[in-house]
A = this chain, B = another copy of it.
Amino acid sequence: MSYYSPSIEKLIEAFERLPSIGHKTAVRLAFHMLDATEEETNEFISAITNAKKNLKYCSQCFNISDTDPCPICAGAKRDHNVICVVEDVRDIIAMERTHEFKGVYHVLHGSISPMNGIGPDDIKIKELLARIQANPEIKEIIVATNPRVEGEATAMYISKIIKTLGVKVTRIAHGIPVGGDLEYTDEVTLTKALEGRHEL
């Protein structure tokens, strides 16, 4: 049985449906919304509607962006002959934060996962191959899918095909995170760290 008025109840439920929001937080958010001024509420709602309306996929790299091509693909200072392949739009942000990568991206929007019925055709692999074939200047494809089973399978699949196109494919390194602890590193990571050792 609910003790709230129907409109409050619906608002609480709407917040509860969001990820990582439990009941108590949903109640707090709902009452925050009720207390908010009309201007604040309108600002919040228009942030959602504008995002839904304005954002589109970049036709080159499938990043989400207000513009097509996205600012990275449109960037004159970027090296358009090095493509970093990532699973998700958010992975681009993580890469950009390093300030190290000056190439462009390709977002797969997922990874090959037969368990979940996701095959190579369900993610943007065809589009990646088309991009590579359309640009004979391509120097390197860096596969930066997540170091999990699905990400590794996707990396293997992609690299196999791209190699047949005669293009260099690399994979980001696995190893112990900086600040990490050997003692607490799982054996798979440690094995990868050993395999990936380099001369000092």
Contacts and interface: CB of A to CB of B under 8 A. Distances in A.
A118 interface: no
A32 B8 contact: no
A198 to B, nearest CB: 29
A90 interface: yes
A55 B19 contact: no
Given A10-B47, A41-B48, A66 B5 contact: yes
A71 interface: yes
A50 B8 CA distance: 9
A27 B107 CA distance: 18
Contacts of A18: 29, 32
Interface residues on A, range: 35 or more
A108 to B, nearest CB: 15
A122 to B, nearest CB: 15
Contacts of A67: 5
B29 A52 contact: no
User: Chain A's interface: helix, strand, loop or mixed, by majority?
Assistant: helix
Most chain B beta-carbon contacts within 10 A, residue among A31, A47, A90: A47
A124 B44 CA distance: 30
Nearest to A32: B19
Contacts of A96: 3
Interface string A36-57: 0010110111011111101100
A33 B14 contact: no
A170 interface: no
A67 B6 CA distance: 10
Nearest to A30: B51
B55 A34 contact: yes
Contacts of A38: 52
